[in-house]
Amino acid sequence: MDGESVLGHAVEAYRAALGDRLLAAYALGSLAHGGFSELVSDVDLGLIVCDPLQPDDSDTIQAVAEAEKARGSALQSRLSVFWGTPSTLSGKQVGGRFPALDRLDLLESGRLIAGCDIARRNLPRPSSRELIVTGAEFALDYLAGVRSPASAQGASLGSMRLAGGAAVAEIRTPELLVRRGVRRVTKLVLFPVRFLYTATTGRVGTNDSAVDHYLESEQSPSAELVVAARSWRTGVPFDEHPAARLLSDQLVPLYIHYIDDHTARLGALGRNDLAESFEDWRGRLIA
């Protein structure tokens, strides 16, 4: 089963569960903007559901997602579902699960696969501030082990469970990381590269565009590792021993570069609470 088949099967399941309340379904992520890798990519699905938001919407959507993820194939297990109503997506009501970066992806690249595209029209574009703050909250939650209320709100539907404490250990001890396989390695290397790209450009971009942007600066550390991660996700053989040596030399410097950049950005935005958490994270990585 390929990524498109996973999406199609999931959409049919949501049609059965939601009926006429399902206004539109979109392919998101690399299945929409390019660069999909069956080896490592998530299968991202976006749903727009009819207002008004119902008390059981979250449980219904999560139940369908978990059932689809449990069907057995590796790609099905990587299904990640984002959802909201026109009111929640426009900020008029709290609810759903559609973080700022994924809403931007919906607006920039979302590919309609079911329903009517009118539901997406006139949705507001996330601000630069919102993209930086929500990206930082995600990083603290999934990569640093600091649980933020905003990131906790919708984390249960994600196809990747990155325990922050485990990620810190893996960044510091690459032998642990390579045992988790190439998918985990490429995620941990490319997350900071993607965050830096979005913070600078205000766009989602692809892994390739983020890597190219990162490599444009001679001041960017760990270039060899970033290039290697891009090649691994496209199927270049992943040899654990040289990979572990490269990660040992360059992964912590990559994260320190990202953390220092975002500590300054968050301070300038007045989010000293997040900036302090980033500084604490930095200390744990170099301790």
Same domain, 144 and 115: no
**Domain's final residue, options 101, 120, 139:** 120
Same domain, 171 and 71: no
Provide the pLDDT for residue 157.
Answer: 37
Same domain, 12 and 134: no
Query: Do the beta carbons of residue 178 and residue 186 sit within 8 Å?
Result: no
**Domain's final residue, options 86, 120, 154:** 120
Same domain, 30 and 105: yes
Residue 14 and residue 24: Cα distance in Å, rounded? 11
Provide the pLDDT for residue 156.
Answer: 37
Residue 245 and residue 217: Cα distance in Å, rounded? 24
- CB atoms under 10 Å from CB of 239, counted, come to 10
**Domain's final residue, options 91, 120, 149:** 120
Same domain, 116 and 147: no
Strand order in the sheet with 22-28: 79-84, 43-49, 22-28, 111-115
Q: Domain containing 231: what range?
A: 128-286
Angle 43-44-50 (CA atoms, 0-180°, nearest 5)?
Answer: 140
Tokens of 77: 């297990």
* Spans in the chain with pLDDT lower than 70: 147-164
Q: Which of 109, 135, 120, 112 is nearest to 34 (CA)?
A: 109
The string over 267-278, giving b where at least 16 C-beta atoms fall within 10 Å of a residue's C-beta and e elsewhere, is: eeeebeebbebb
pLDDT, one tens digit per residue, over 71-121 is 989 999 999 999 999 999 999 999 999 999 999 999 999 999 999 998 788
Total of domains in the chain: 2
Provide the pLDDT for residue 186.
Answer: 96
Same domain, 35 and 99: yes
Chain position carrying tokens 């990206």? 135
Provide the pLDDT for residue 185.
Answer: 97
Same domain, 140 and 101: no
Confidence (pTM)? 0.91
Query: Do the beta carbons of residue 131 and residue 215 sit within 8 Å?
Result: no
Same domain, 178 and 79: no
CATH number at residue 63: 3.30.460.10
